[in-house]
Structure 1
Amino acid sequence: MIATAMPQSKAPRSVLFMCGMNAIRSPMAEALARVALPKGTYVASAGVRQGERDPFVDVVLEEVGLTIGRHQPRTLEELEDDYFDLIVTLAPEAHHMALELTRSMAVDVVYWPTPDPTVATGTREQIVAAYRAVRDHLATLIASRLAVESQQKGSPPAA
């Protein structure tokens, strides 16, 4: 099932972003959501399997004044907290795993198909452009689907 909008009318209190290796899409979404969602919202990210930190993520987040800090890719087993109001999956394998893990839990799982920028080829600028496209795609989804309530209350829109 591909969800196109939040099934609840208010912003979630805790969100987990999941992708394949927690190296690109989910940490990027985590950084974007931290500034777009209301203060006090717990935001985390994890991958289905262990990945390696990708330096292009730092490059494209820095362009919009964000950072993932000392983030190191982690798997679901490495998360400190395991309860979330919402799990946003960004890759098919993450979506399947989230549905399997939450079968008997009251948690919303939504799937936002997000391209993998590592498949981009060409010059450095062409590759960075693929990462920018993912960043902008995620920022748009977060602003339109998760941060709606906080924007209605006068908060600035997401980057």
Structure 2
Amino acid sequence: MAHNVPQSILFVCQLNSVRSPMAAGLMRKHFPSVADIRSCGLASGDLDDFMVTVMREKGVDMTEHEAASLARVQDEDFDIVIAFTPDAFESAQAVFEDRDIPVELWAVPDPGEGSLDVRALLNNYRAIRDNIETRLRRNFAEAQ
């Protein structure tokens, strides 16, 4: 079932270096009317070059992405929070439990797991990106 398009959304993953920034970048591309699109991690990691590369393939420039931690945004309100790992989901639920902010788990694997071959890694990143993009478009279809 598609949600109404939120006016503020937070994406949460482990380090805010791959999955959650991908989601934020794709949300900005497909739903430019959304006022506040943010991403964070349980901790803030470093800019991931593979993430930047596969997002560029979709016409999304992520070179200016700066990782943020959940602690940095915990006092803000969002229409919806989407977490990409069980740990991120549990942490986001705990942070936002006293407010009426829905937290959803969209479990997406870490693209860095498995083969260390660059081609295989890039394909993992592309698969994660495409999975997130499909879910965003399906879940927020009414915006288009």
Q: 1 CA distance for matches of 2:120 and 2:134?
A: 21
Which stretch shows the higher mean deviation, 89-98 or 38-47?
38-47
Moved beyond 6 Å, runs of 4+: none
> 101, 120, 137: which one pairs with 1:126?
120
The equivalences for 1:9-158 within 5 A come to 9-79=3-73, 82-146=76-140, 148-151=141-144
Q: CA deviation at 1:123?
A: 2.3
Q: TM-score, normalised by structure 2?
A: 0.92
Give aligned pairs, total: 144
Asked if the contact 1:90–1:112 (Cα under 8 Å) also holds between the matched residues in 2, the reply is yes
Gaps of 5+ in 2: none
Q: Percent of aligned positions with the same letter in both sequences? A: 30
Residues 71-106 of structure 1: per-residue CA shift (max 9 Å, x gap): 121102234971100000001111000111111101
Structure 1, gaps ≥5 residues long: 152-159
Q: CA deviation at 1:70?
A: 1.1
- 8 Å CA contact 2:74–2:95 kept in 1: the answer is no
Residue 37 of structure 1: CA displacement? Answer: 1.7
1-structure distance, mates of 2:75, 2:93: 18
Retained in 2: the 8 A contact 1:21–1:48? yes
